[in-house]
């Protein structure tokens, strides 16, 4: 009889401990707000949640690359717009110098503004963002090298390059930005005699000597406007492509985040109901254990 009593006590004790553990586990779930705590609770759901989390991390890395590319593209577009404005101002000066009302002194004064605009063009062409030259292309090197006599810029060498192919994800690279020199270069084009900076040096020196600008001066500036406008248009197209990719990426991120939350987030109302049920079971098991203990003591007496 005592063996039977001992066995009953062990069974009740085991049941009580199990009820306590289930109650504590449910409390932990509610505290964490997660659908599951351990992989052993639901291996399939845990695997699906892990898969969704990995997919979301991959998308977030793609987002970082896209944000970096978008920022660089925005800066490139702003610089191209400034270059376009500068070339437009140079053209206005050439037209003004030839309007028949300007004196030698006037043209010499214009030469000083042309020199200032020339320096601005070089600065824009060598602009860096986060340590990278905007117009270096794949070469990554400083795109414009200059020669000076005293503080006067006397020659400029523009490196040829190709547009950078930016990595947006594994195996996918997208050509973005513009180059200072090379095919479609903003300052020099390897396929033509277009050379914006050195021709501007010639214009400056001509005006400094009090001479009138020539038809060739106007022609190269028109070509400069053409090349720069084309680069601005391409930059706008690149921006639209990045925005489109960003929109698609946002949809994918939202989908994976929603899936992950659905797999891991806890239905709080259902969880509280289950907690109450487990609490009642636990309290009942404690009461049962106490009754068995009293019965055993009576039988012993």
**107 contacts 207 by C-beta, under 8 angstroms:** yes
Mean pLDDT lowest among 106-115, 159-168, 216-225: 159-168
Q: Rounded mean pLDDT of 158-181?
A: 84
Q: Which CATH superfamily is domain 76-237 in?
A: f41 fragment of flagellin, N-terminal domain (1.20.1330.10)
Name the pLDDT band for 283 (thresholds 50, 70, 90).
Answer: confident
Q: So what's the pLDDT on residue 290? A: 72
**135 contacts 127 by C-beta, under 8 angstroms:** yes
**156 contacts 144 by C-beta, under 8 angstroms:** yes
Name the pLDDT band for 193 (thresholds 50, 70, 90).
Answer: confident
Does the pLDDT at position 266 exceed 80?
no
Tally Cβ neighbours within 10 Å of residue 240: 10
Q: Rounded mean pLDDT of 258-268?
A: 74
Does the pLDDT at position 105 exceed 90?
yes
- Find which of 160-169, 210-219, 281-290 is predicted with most confidence, using mean pLDDT: 210-219
Integer CA distances (angstroms), 4 to 10, 36, 102, in order? 10, 39, 121
Q: CA-to-CA distance for 167 and 164, rounded, in angstroms? A: 9
Name the pLDDT band for 8 (thresholds 50, 70, 90).
Answer: low
Q: So what's the pLDDT on residue 41? A: 65
With a CB cutoff of 8 Å and minimum separation 6, the contacts of 97 are 106, 107, 110, 207, 212, 213
By residue count, the chain amounts to: 301
Q: Rounded mean pLDDT of 135-149?
A: 94
Does the pLDDT at position 294 exceed 70?
no
More confident residue, 178 or 289: 178
- What pLDDT, in 10s, does the model give residues 24-59? 776 776 677 666 545 566 788 778 888 888 999 999
Q: So what's the pLDDT on residue 29? A: 67
Does the pLDDT at position 189 exceed 80?
yes
Domain segments of the chain as ranges: 2-34+281-300, 76-237
What is the C-alpha end-to-end distance of the chain, expressed in Å? 13
Question: How many Å separate Cα 196 from the centre of its chain?
Answer: 33
Chain-wide mean pLDDT for the chain? 86
Does the pLDDT at position 15 exceed 80?
no
Q: CA-to-CA distance for 250 and 253, rounded, in angstroms? A: 5
Does the pLDDT at position 3 exceed 50?
no
Q: So what's the pLDDT on residue 172? A: 74
Q: What is the DSSP string of 209-239?
A: TTPPPPHHHHHHHHHHHHHHHHHHHHHHHHH
Q: So what's the pLDDT on residue 295? A: 58
Q: So what's the pLDDT on residue 19? A: 74
Q: So what's the pLDDT on residue 286? A: 77
Name the pLDDT band for 118 (thresholds 50, 70, 90).
Answer: very high
């Amino acid at each position: 009889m005592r063996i039977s009593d001992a066995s009953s006590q062990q069974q009740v004790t085991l049941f009580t401990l199990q009820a306590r553990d289930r109650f504590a586990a449910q409390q932990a779930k509610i505290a964490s707000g997660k659908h599951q705590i351990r992989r052993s609770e639901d291996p399939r759901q845990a695997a699906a949640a892990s898969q969704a989390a990995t997919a979301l991390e991959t998308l977030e890395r793609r987002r970082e690359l896209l944000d970096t590319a978008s920022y660089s593209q925005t800066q490139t577009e702003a610089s191209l717009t400034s270059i376009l404005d500068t070339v437009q101002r140079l053209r206005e000066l050439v037209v003004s110098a030839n309007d028949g009302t300007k004196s030698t002194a006037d043209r010499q004064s214009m030469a000083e503004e042309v020199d200032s605009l020339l320096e601005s063009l070089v600065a824009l062409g060598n602009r860096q963002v986060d340590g990278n030259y905007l117009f270096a292309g794949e070469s990554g090197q400083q795109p414009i090298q200059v020669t000076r006599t005293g503080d006067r810029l006397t020659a400029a060498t523009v490196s040829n390059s190709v547009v950078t192919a930016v990595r947006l994800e594994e195996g996918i690279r997208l050509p973005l930005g513009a180059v200072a020199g090379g095919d479609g270069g903003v300052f020099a084009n390897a396929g033509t005699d277009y050379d914006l900076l050195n021709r501007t040096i010639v214009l400056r020196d001509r005006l400094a000597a009090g001479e009138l600008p020539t038809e060739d001066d106007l022609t190269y500036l028109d070509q400069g406007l053409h090349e720069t406008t084309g680069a601005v248009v391409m930059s706008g197209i690149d921006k639209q492509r990045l925005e489109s990719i960003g929109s698609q990426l946002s949809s994918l991120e939202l989908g994976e985040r929603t899936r992950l939350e659905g797999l891991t987030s806890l239905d709080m109302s259902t969880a509280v109901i289950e907690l109450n049920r487990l609490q009642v079971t636990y309290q009942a098991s404690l009461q049962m254990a106490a009754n068995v203990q009293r019965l055993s003591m009576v039988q012993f007496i």
